Amino acid sequence: MRRIEIHLKGGDSFESVIRAVKHFDTIDYSIIHTKPGDRRLVSILMREGNSQELIDAIHSTLEGQRDWRLSVIAIEASLPKAESTDGEKDARNTQAIREEILQDIGKGAVFDRDFAIFVGLSTVVAAVGMNSGSVAGVIGAMVIAPLLGPILAFAMGAALGDSALLRQSGRTLISGIMIALLCGLLLSFIVPVDLSSTELTSRAEVRLDAVALALAAGAAAALSVAKGQGAGLVGVMVAAALLPPGAAMGLLVGSGELELGARACLLLALNVACLILAALLTFRLRKIQPRQWIEQKNANAAVAINTAFWVACLIIVGALILYFDLGARVEFP
């Protein structure tokens, strides 16, 4: 359940908004006259399934006008319990509003000092944990999950055809990966690299379960965000697919193990492609798309281009593994 509030002036636009409100199956709504001026506050209680349609209808009605604002507030509880004409349908339609998803995901696309520090610290913890064979250290680094934000933001930008979000999240993702590689490389000159550690050398193996992990992590992260749920736990899965191979690549290259470093690089590239592709397709299957039909056409083109690009990346990486005889480390459980 959500409360949608619209602040606007009286007049024709106000009447159009009220007609839109009455058209949808609202739980309740109220109109409050506010000051100064001829202002109205329309407060609406909506079920989960119809909130996006009502917001889009109101946005279309007020588009091009000034001096109005729409706010969405999540309702944790309400008494008495709202009657539902189809409770099972409401449960299936539970999904965060497009604007809510964009606001949450947009924060993770920003590259700032805190993001760089989180990536650096988590990489150091992961690298030390792998080098010492400490599973607890590797898991501790993954809990921070700093790379979840730009991964989801990039997939969302592709799903909506938002070029600005694509560029910003792409730069943040590349910067985060470069920081992880640099931290791993610098750490290799400080800490003796232990090649007998299975936690480290396993990140230089391309395994079927690693690909499955990346695909599942990307889909789970996108689904949790689309349904308005926390993505903290699946963030650990995303970090498992990115941080360890990135840190391992830096350690191995810095220690002179270029072949193992190349394998870790291929695993990292494979995981990035799988994560973004799975998240993008999940957003698409959840029908997260722009409001206007022109924007939807651009989004369709962006989805097609990105899907083709990341599928091509998967094919190229797979071909490189076979061509350079890295298949010796391709293991299937």
Range 176-192 average pLDDT: 90
Nearest to 273 by CA among 184, 209, 182, 211: 211
CB 126 within 8 A of CB 135: no
The pTM is what?
0.77
Instruction: Return the residue matching tokens 């394998």.
Output: 263
**Average pLDDT, rounded, for the chain:** 80
Nearest to 170 by CA among 157, 147, 154, 189: 154
Tokens of 163: 């070029």
Q: How many CB atoms lie within 10 A of CB 247?
A: 33
- Tell me the three-class secondary structure of the chain, residue by residue: CEEEEEEEECCHHHHHHHHHHHHCCCCEEEEEEECCCCEEEEEEEECCCCHHHHHHHHHHHHCCCCCCEEEEEECCCCCCCCCCCCHHHHHHCCCCCHHHHHHHHHHHCCCCHHHHHHHHHHHHHHHHHHHHCCHHHHHHHHHHCCCHHHHHHHHHHHHHCCHHHHHHHHHHHHHHHHHHHHHHHHHHCCCCCCCCCHHHHHHHCCEHHHHHHHHHHHHHHHHHHHCCCCCHHHHHHHHHHHHHHHHHHHHHHHCCCHHHHHHHHHHHHHHHHHHHHHHHHHHHHCCCCCCCHHHHHHHHHHHHHHHHHHHHHHHHHHHHHHHCCHHHHCECC
Tokens of 236: 């650990």
pLDDT in tens, 196-223: 888 888 888 777 677 787 888 888 888 8
pLDDT-based confidence at residue 93 (cuts at 50, 70, 90): low
Least confident of 2-6, 72-76, 256-260, 328-332: 328-332
Q: How far apart are CA 78 and CA 125, in angstroms?
A: 44
The DSSP bridge partners found for residue 32 are: 41
Range 70-97 average pLDDT: 66
Q: How far apart are CA 104 and CA 250, in angstroms?
A: 31
Q: How far apart are CA 207 and CA 176, in angstroms?
A: 24
Of 89 and 312, the structure prediction assigns the larger pLDDT to 312
pLDDT-based confidence at residue 106 (cuts at 50, 70, 90): confident
Please state, in angstroms and as integers, the Cα–Cα distance from residue 243 to each residue in 30, 203, 232, following that order. 50, 10, 15
Tokens of 278: 């799975």
Q: What phi, psi does 90 have (nearest 5°)?
A: -60, -40
Q: What phi, psi does 208 have (nearest 5°)?
A: -65, -35
pLDDT in tens, 121-173: 888 888 888 888 877 777 766 666 678 888 888 998 888 888 888 999 999 99
